[in-house]
């Protein structure tokens, strides 16, 4: 398919003096499982609400499959999802809730009710009123309600929040399975492990602004990382490190090992420089920061 699935440009939402979302750009391509990562209150849900046409942006634009959800709900054809918790009519049964939503969707959605109830393993409780459902069951009914639309894009707002560990695992497995079926997924999360486990691309939002957008590998690569270097001639190597552009804080650690921080490109140049001067490298090891460390670097 031509063009990005979700294209967000310069998105701003202001509530009085409070800027909830500040000039956000996002690109979600077909087949992505896109993690929208940030601490609570960073503006993730507000962004998602604008993508779903629930609230009006103060400035900027959202295009989903090239169409503007602010103009018509038709822009959400092929799109499904929920913000915060999925909500249903507590006085109707799970099945009745889905029947209502299928009637609102039209387009054969009603014929998928049994199928989606099976996918989220709620078939045996579908006859009970939603008022009696647990949080996890409502969350699964939310996924079922989304799947009714046979979506090509799922927008999920912290889908595992409030679930027990088993529920979280099931939800992540489900998201992975849906992605394997070819559904593009944009999910917001404040849980790094989740994003690392299911997402291929990630945007980090911090106080309404995008701090990083790219692949997880990019994110690691683009950040200055601590390296440990062992060579045949530590003193000579230290001189080279000190002279080399992009190598910071080089120092001897324990007499034989050099530690420094640098980005990937600078490290590559350094290794060439060392070999050119006849210093052999016996070990050059990145002390890969955990995703969590990276996250804090971007958000603090």
Partner 1 sequence: MRRVLTVYRWELRKLRAQKRTYLGLGLAAVVPIIFVTAVALHGGRHGPEDVAFGRYIHETGLAFPLVLLFFGSIWMFPLITALVAGDIVAAEDHNGTLKTILTRSLERGQIFAGKALATATYAVAAIVLMGVIAVVAGSIESGLNSLVTLSGTTISAAKGLRLVGASLLVYLMPILAIASIGLLLSTVTRNSAAAVVGTLGVSLLIQLIGILPGLGGLHPYLLSTQFNAWQGLLRVPIDWAPIGRAAWVCSLYALPSLAAAYVVFLRRDVAGG
- Nearer residue to partner 1 within complex by CB, 53 or 234: 53
Report d(CA 187, CA 166) in Å as an integer.
19
8 binds partner 1 (CB under 8 A): no
The residue whose two tokens read 């804080």 is 249
C-alpha distances in Å from residue 203, one per residue of 38, 56, 84, 145, 198: 8, 22, 19, 26, 14
Give min distance, CB of 20 to partner 1, in A.
Answer: 10
Name the packing angle between helices 135-147 and 94-105 (round to 10°).
Answer: 30
Residues 146-185 that bind partner 1 (CB under 8 A): 149
- Nearer residue to partner 1 within complex by CB, 65 or 82: 82
Give min distance, CB of 76 to partner 1, in A.
Answer: 6
Other beta carbons within 10 angstroms of residue 249's beta carbon come to: 11
Closest CA to 231 of 284, 288, 287: 284
Report d(CA 104, CA 88) in Å as an integer.
14
- Nearer residue to partner 1 within complex by CB, 129 or 297: 129
Give min distance, CB of 256 to partner 1, in A.
Answer: 59
The stretches of the chain forming alpha helices (DSSP H) are 44-51, 94-105, 113-119, 135-147, 165-180, 192-198, 216-221, 234-243, 264-276, 291-299
Q: From the list 26, 145, 174, 205, which residue makes contact with partner 1 (rule: CB under 8 A)?
A: 145
- Nearer residue to partner 1 within complex by CB, 73 or 173: 73
- Binding residues with partner 1: total (CB under 8 A): 36
- Nearer residue to partner 1 within complex by CB, 77 or 239: 77
CB 131 within 8 A of CB 88: no
Give min distance, CB of 106 to partner 1, in A.
Answer: 6
Give min distance, CB of 180 to partner 1, in A.
Answer: 24
Strand 201-206 and strand 184-189: pairing? unpaired
CB 52 within 8 A of CB 155: yes
53 binds partner 1 (CB under 8 A): yes
Residues 65-104 that bind partner 1 (CB under 8 A): 72-74, 76-77, 79-92, 96, 100-101, 103-104
- Nearer residue to partner 1 within complex by CB, 19 or 100: 100
Give min distance, CB of 66 to partner 1, in A.
Answer: 18
55 binds partner 1 (CB under 8 A): yes
> Which residues bind to partner 1, rule: CB under 8 A?
46, 49, 52-56, 72-74, 76-77, 79-92, 96, 100-101, 103-107, 145, 149
């Amino acid at each position: 398919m031509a063009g990005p699935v979700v294209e967000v440009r310069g998105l701003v939402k202001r509530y009085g003096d409070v800027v909830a979302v500040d000039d956000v750009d996002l690109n979600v391509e077909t087949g992505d499982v896109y993690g929208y990562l940030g601490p609570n209150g960073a503006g993730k849900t507000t962004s998602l609400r604008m993508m779903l046409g629930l609230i009006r942006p103060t400035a900027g634009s959202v295009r989903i499959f090239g169409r503007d959800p602010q103009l018509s709900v038709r822009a959400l054809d092929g799109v499904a999802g929920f913000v915060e918790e999925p909500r249903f009519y507590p006085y109707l049964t799970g099945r009745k809730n889905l029947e209502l939503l299928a009637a609102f969707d039209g387009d054969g959605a009603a014929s998928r009710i049994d199928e989606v109830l099976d996918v989220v393993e709620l078939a045996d409780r579908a006859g009970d009123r939603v008022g009696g459902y647990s949080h996890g069951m409502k969350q699964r009914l939310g996924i079922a309600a989304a799947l009714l639309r046979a979506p090509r894009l799922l927008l999920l707002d912290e889908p595992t929040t409030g679930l027990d560990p088993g529920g979280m695992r099931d939800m992540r497995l489900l998201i992975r399975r849906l992605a394997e079926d070819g559904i593009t997924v944009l999910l917001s999360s404040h849980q790094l492990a989740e994003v690392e486990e299911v997402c291929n691309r990630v945007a980090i939002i911090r106080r309404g602004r995008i701090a990083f957008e790219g692949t997880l590998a990019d994110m690691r690569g683009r950040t200055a990382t601590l390296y440990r270097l062992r060579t045949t001639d530590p003193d000579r190597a230290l001189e080279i490190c000190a002279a080399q552009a992009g190598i910071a804080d080089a120092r001897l650690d324990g007499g034989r090992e050099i530690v420094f921080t640098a980005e990937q490109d600078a490290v590559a140049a350094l290794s060439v420089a060392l070999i050119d001067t006849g210093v052999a490298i016996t070990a050059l090891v990145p002390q890969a920061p955990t995703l969590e460390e990276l996250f804090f670097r971007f958000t603090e």
